[in-house]
Amino acid sequence: MSFFTKIKGVRVPHKKNTAEAEPKVLPAVSSVFLPMNMHIGAPSVPCVAAGDAVLVGQKVAEAGGFVSSPVHSPVSGTVTAVHDKLYATGEKVGVIEIASDGRNTPSPDIKPPVIESTEDFIAAVRNSGAVGLGGAGFPTAVKLTVRPEQTVDYIIINAAECEPYITSDTRTIIESAEDIFFGLSLLKKYINPGELIIGIEANKKTAADYLLRQSELHTNKELGVKIAILPSVYPQGGEKVLIYNTTHRIVPEGKLPLDVGCIVLNVTTLAVIAKYVKTGVPLTHKVVTVDGTAVKSPANVLAPIGAKISDLLELCGADPDAAAKILYGGPMMGTAVPSADVPVRKNTNAVLAFTEKEAVLPEEQPCIRCGRCVASCPLKLQTVEIHNAYLNNKPEFIEQYKANICMECGCCSYVCPAKRQLTQYMKLAKAALREYQDKQAAAAEKAKLLEEAANGE
């Protein structure tokens, strides 16, 4: 099934060098360290202490709240430390460090969950440790928690994988198509959406063929899954973009997909949930694309969560110390890391290492008012006006031009002939807007209290 839309975006080089590469298994690591903030929301809370013995799949941290996720050990061994550690973002986060014994002994508590109701299914999703594995890291159980007054018209499986280089989702589709459709059957049974859609870009023909063949099997016909073959236009995998391109629904400002009857799940996240329901094995390992101009042998690598990304780079023939820039994720929305000692996180779908030629940012030039940034923005934002409002300290105009709906996809920076770092300015503008709105809210609350005091309330 094909969908055609005219939403804006940019054509980026695909560079899917590893699309046909079966994942390599990372050799045994000596240790892992597990950050407690590998998801959006409240940090996880450790439930082990230094000196404790742990096994593969054992829960080592509980969800720290409703919007949170548990963490499971990817190795067997001994907990060496539970402490706060300076992290790549410059903040201190809780970390569990585990020394591996090299035996990878599975926990005897691993067993398939008993699911007899929607509540049981949501609990299983939470216990699996699943979060948005496409990069966002939002706890999946929260996405699937639907209030009685809400209706789920569509569940959309995001298989677009639109960033250059990254092919980890593609490999999930090729190697785990049956699990994906089992996961779809679980969603159909326990969430009961009106329609199930898988969105995938047209440039992933092999993966799309796997999905189409699986959807045609007799056992899956009753699911009524639609395969949406979408134009290869970045950022096709952006949540709001994908919703519009598959359903023509628009998520309003300040609203969530569920407010317009949609739930979007990453395709690898769905496969993790399916495997957990089948086996009881939680999320402990992740397929990560390792690529970039500083990598001699690009590959997909199956790695334990918590392994150092330096181990992945060395496996693929890259010298971490020689790379001028290393990214978590893709070149459009990825995050630069300060060193290769940072760990593979739950939502790490790629590690890219670049030589100095690609790493050095070009010098910014004055804006020539060409309008390319506006023409390319998938959300039709007035990028130039937001940029100017930020530079001139006019937060009220930042608010007026709706900067807070920016998805930070990087299209504006990519097309700018003056090489202005517009995406970074958009982030700064959003931060300035939040500060302005907080001050406005505080002033309104103060005025309310003063009025109540004057009226003797």
% of the chain beyond a pLDDT of 70: 96
CB 71 within 8 A of CB 127: no
- Look at residues 129, 123, 122 and name the one whose alpha carbon lies nearest to residue 39: 129
pLDDT of amino acid 1:
47
* One-letter identity of residue 78: T
* Helix or strand holding residue 375 (H, E): helix 372-376
Quick: pLDDT tens for 370-389. 999 999 999 999 999 999 99
Q: How far apart are CA 257 and CA 10, in angstroms?
A: 23
pLDDT of amino acid 407:
92
Tallying the residues shown for the chain, one arrives at 457
Quick: pLDDT tens for 70-110. 999 999 999 999 998 876 666 788 999 999 999 999 999 99
Mean pLDDT of 256-266: 96
- Look at residues 220, 409, 400, 272 and name the one whose alpha carbon lies nearest to residue 331: 409
> pLDDT class for 6, splitting at 50, 70, 90?
low
CB 230 within 8 A of CB 159: no
Mean pLDDT of 236-242: 93
pLDDT of amino acid 221:
63
Cα dihedral angle (327, 330, 333, 339), rounded to 10 degrees? Answer: -10
pLDDT of amino acid 4:
47
- Look at residues 159, 351, 131, 333 and name the one whose alpha carbon lies nearest to residue 236: 159
Backbone angles phi, psi at 97, to 5 degrees: -105, 135
When the pLDDT of each residue in the chain is averaged and rounded to a whole number, the result is 92
C-alpha distance from residue 454 to each of 124, 447, 449 (Å):
54, 10, 9
DSSP helix/strand/coil, 455: coil
Task: Name all domains of the chain by residue range, CATH numbers in brackets.
Answer: 118-279 (3.40.50.11540), 372-454 (no CATH)
DSSP helix/strand/coil, 268: helix
pLDDT of amino acid 2:
47
Residue 301: Cβ within 10 Å count: 25
Residue 288: Cβ within 10 Å count: 26
* Helix or strand holding residue 79 (H, E): strand 77-86
Read off the pTM: 0.92
Quick: pLDDT tens for 399-443. 999 999 999 999 999 999 999 999 999 999 999 999 999 999 998
Contacts of 398 by beta carbon, 8 Å cutoff, 6+ apart: 386, 389, 390, 429, 430, 432, 433, 436
> pLDDT class for 135, splitting at 50, 70, 90?
confident
DSSP state, 383?
H
